[in-house]
Structure 1
């Protein structure tokens, strides 16, 4: 039964959070601290006797920035944290309008008549939209750096603490042109050397890109390393898929013409072959079907990267990451409303964010495969790759 939480807590105590999505709780609803959004969602689901289906493996993330993406996993999370369906009373919990006091909305709903009118936007909205435009411009710089000849030789620590190359106009003017080796006339099947080469390049660009994010720069050094490690396995996959020339839905092509498809590769570890099929079926296919543009891709990449659930980040970092991620999701939703219309934006937004579940699943499976490959010496990782994937003893120096 809906009821307010204890009101005696003073302002010096930390605010209680919703156990479902980690937004700010507005009190105890149906037995647990929760926000108005999750309270209303739970009540409507029970009152309407609704059932939902998860499009993935029933492991979708549920936090305040993506809680609307999968209703099945959100409802299951409500039950897991202890929301009591028996506390809902037909005569006291009708389905209808309830006064809302949500303080940190994950997505600010926009009606068709309000499509991003500058006069109706708050300063916060404009700042979020400006940052989305910055992300898009930065993505174009990342493409230039990825295709350039330049590749530094440095440790992970040196890479993280050095000034951002994407902000160095002189450097980009000297090294921002595509290398002749990153072009092709004919395709050739990728070798292990090709996989290594493009992963190293994409890790190099990933770190430079991360340093352009104010949220990343606000983290402590150990939290920066933890966030980079969390995305190290899946970031290259996302970049490979989005930037591949279209040679068919079952083919991913690197800029130098090396490609891979469904052809089995018995010389590669089993886990790496499985990752390849996941990329083709669960990333390349939906991204091509949706015709995701650079702005949508740059936003999604940042949303997935700024993961408050990344291993080894502390509580302060989780709050910073969650707030930063929410700002980008707000701007992305407004962008989709403006370009696709209010009616289609919600579905498109949900479909895009649910690709994060694919990446999260791939990350878990690939971490194990990488550890096995290293243990049995199946793959020769570079020193930089080992520092990024497995950690380094001197990182606290």
Structure 2
């Protein structure tokens, strides 16, 4: 049976959808440069963070900021309109994906905080009516370039030095989480769906025509391959769905091993995982990529881009994906650098519906500074020259690949073969 949308936590399966996960109490966290992802003393909870540039004003004198679309608490001007994070993300996704919504009623549904999810068509129209501008939406590539440039400016201001104790502890936490959850041999992989054996025309089993009877061209009979002959021949799409589900399950377990992730609000945990799972799986697949054969070696199964064609992917995705994995493998990254990349993807404040955006942004910056420091001290010149810059460029490429990957999965016809967990991630 295909797994449900969930991760195994505290010995039980917890839904990965609208039902809340069980998780430990929020951990206290620090936002200082010396912040540790596992420390909890003298620190502020992400729920208790204060904006550093806002003057304290008594609550009864503060001017309320209300979303012009749904009436929820607004976080600022987005696309020319005062709006909340939810409506900001909804408008951006709707325009970038060019989604066509249809109202099942009279095209005049009330859009409030409680009812904004009930009719996407009327919500999008409300966004346009209050003045949200399509021309102000940046593409994923532009957002990635802007973030990379901003991060480079911050790094340029940082003083050179060795790895701090907090940075060393961060690397230790991530490596330990990776080792406990990533099965590079795929020994724990199992098929969630029944294997579908391939069939071939059996032309030898046709009876010879009897004498005097006009011979006709008999239609070849389709016989399933003998299990003793080819025991591991499966149709490509269910196998792809199963391995992708297996990888996503490992990613969920990896995230739950990181204390600071467990300390985030549950809605942010779900949003970060949904936004990062496909990108993280690409980095993990690179760990099993064989650059001599251009194949991904997943235990007993080995895949090439030709197998991707059988699944239904197009060359517009497969060729850039192969180039990405070749270029990343050429960098000869250490295990520490791989896991820091995973953490940078996981703690991305650009994911939809994130509530603790500033806090997560600073977490990602801390991980990025640790990666830069590690490269500076573990890769001597000329090997380490521009290595960090190359990684940032590859991460920008990865965002484009992830979008194209999602688009193509959604357009593969046989969606019935998708497991619930994979369907939730790409929805």
- Aligned partner of 2:336 among 291, 295, 303: 295
Cα distance in 2 for residues equivalent to 1:145 and 1:274: 28
Cα distance in 2 for residues equivalent to 1:361 and 1:264: 21
In the alignment, which residue of structure 1 is the partner of 2:410?
Answer: 371
Cα distance in 1 for residues equivalent to 2:309 and 2:191: 32
Q: Does 1:260 align with 2:304?
A: yes
Cα distance in 1 for residues equivalent to 2:310 and 2:235: 12
In the alignment, which residue of structure 2 is the partner of 1:387?
Answer: 424
In the alignment, which residue of structure 1 is the partner of 2:327?
Answer: 286
Cα distance in 2 for residues equivalent to 1:297 and 1:265: 24
Cα 1:202–1:132 shift into 2, 3 Å: same
Cα 1:140–1:342 shift into 2, 3 Å: same
Query: Higher strand proportion, which one?
Result: 2
Q: Is the 8 A contact 2:185 2:299 kept in 1?
A: no
Cα distance in 1 for residues equivalent to 2:407 and 2:177: 32
Q: Is the 8 A contact 1:299 1:332 kept in 2?
A: yes
In the alignment, which residue of structure 2 is the partner of 1:359?
Answer: 398
In the alignment, which residue of structure 2 is the partner of 1:224?
Answer: 269
Could you list the runs of 5+ residues in structure 1 that have no partner in the other structure? Answer: 1-7, 20-55, 75-104, 117-124, 154-186, 391-397
Q: Is the 8 A contact 1:190 1:258 kept in 2?
A: no
1:210 Cα deviation from its structure 2 partner: 0.7
CA deviations over 1:136-194 (Å, ceiling 9, x no partner): 232222234873427799xxxxxxxxxxxxxxxxxxxxxxxxxxxxxxxxx99993333
In the alignment, which residue of structure 1 is the partner of 2:312?
Answer: 269
In the alignment, which residue of structure 2 is the partner of 1:338?
Answer: 377
* Structure number with bigger Rg: 2
Cα distance in 1 for residues equivalent to 2:386 and 2:404: 28
1:355 Cα deviation from its structure 2 partner: 1.5
Q: Is the 8 A contact 1:106 1:330 kept in 2?
A: yes
Cα 1:68–1:207 shift into 2, 3 Å: closer
TM-score by length of 1: 0.56
Q: Is the 8 A contact 1:215 1:320 kept in 2?
A: no
- Aligned partner of 1:67 among 134, 137, 150: 150
Q: Is the 8 A contact 1:227 1:305 kept in 2?
A: yes
Q: CA RMSD in A?
A: 3.7
Could you list the runs of 5+ residues in structure 2 that have no partner in the other structure? Answer: 1-52, 63-74, 79-139, 193-231
1:296 Cα deviation from its structure 2 partner: 0.5
**SS at 1:233 equivalent:** helix
1:351 Cα deviation from its structure 2 partner: 0.8
CA deviations over 1:273-316 (Å, ceiling 9, x no partner): 5333222102x1122211111110100111012110011212xx
In the alignment, which residue of structure 2 is the partner of 1:234?
Answer: 279
CA deviations over 1:169-226 (Å, ceiling 9, x no partner): xxxxxxxxxxxxxxxxxx9999333322221111110000011223322222222111
Cα distance in 1 for residues equivalent to 2:167 and 2:391: 19
Cα 1:136–1:190 shift into 2, 3 Å: farther
Cα 1:224–1:363 shift into 2, 3 Å: same
What is the total number of aligned residue pairs between the two structures?
A: 259
Q: Is the 8 A contact 1:107 1:330 kept in 2?
A: no
In the TM superposition, 1:202-217 aligns within 5 A as 202-217=247-262
**SS at 1:313 equivalent:** coil
Cα distance in 1 for residues equivalent to 2:290 and 2:233: 14
Cα distance in 2 for residues equivalent to 1:127 and 1:66: 25
**SS at 2:303 equivalent:** strand
CA deviations over 1:246-278 (Å, ceiling 9, x no partner): 443x322222232213x375543344x533322
In the alignment, which residue of structure 1 is the partner of 2:245?
Answer: 200
Cα distance in 2 for residues equivalent to 1:152 and 1:253: 17
Cα distance in 1 for residues equivalent to 2:374 and 2:274: 30
**SS at 1:60 equivalent:** helix
1:378 Cα deviation from its structure 2 partner: 4.8
Q: Is the 8 A contact 1:146 1:202 kept in 2?
A: no
Cα distance in 2 for residues equivalent to 1:380 and 1:290: 36
In the TM superposition, 1:1-397 aligns within 5 A as 10-11=55-56, 60-63=144-147, 67-68=150-151, 105-106=154-155, 109=158, 111=160, 114-116=161-163, 125-144=164-183, 147-149=186-188, 191-248=236-293, 250-261=294-305, 263=306, 266-271=309-314, 273-282=315-324, 284-314=325-355, 317-341=356-380, 345=384, 347-373=386-412, 376-378=413-415, 380-390=417-427
Cα 1:363–1:382 shift into 2, 3 Å: same
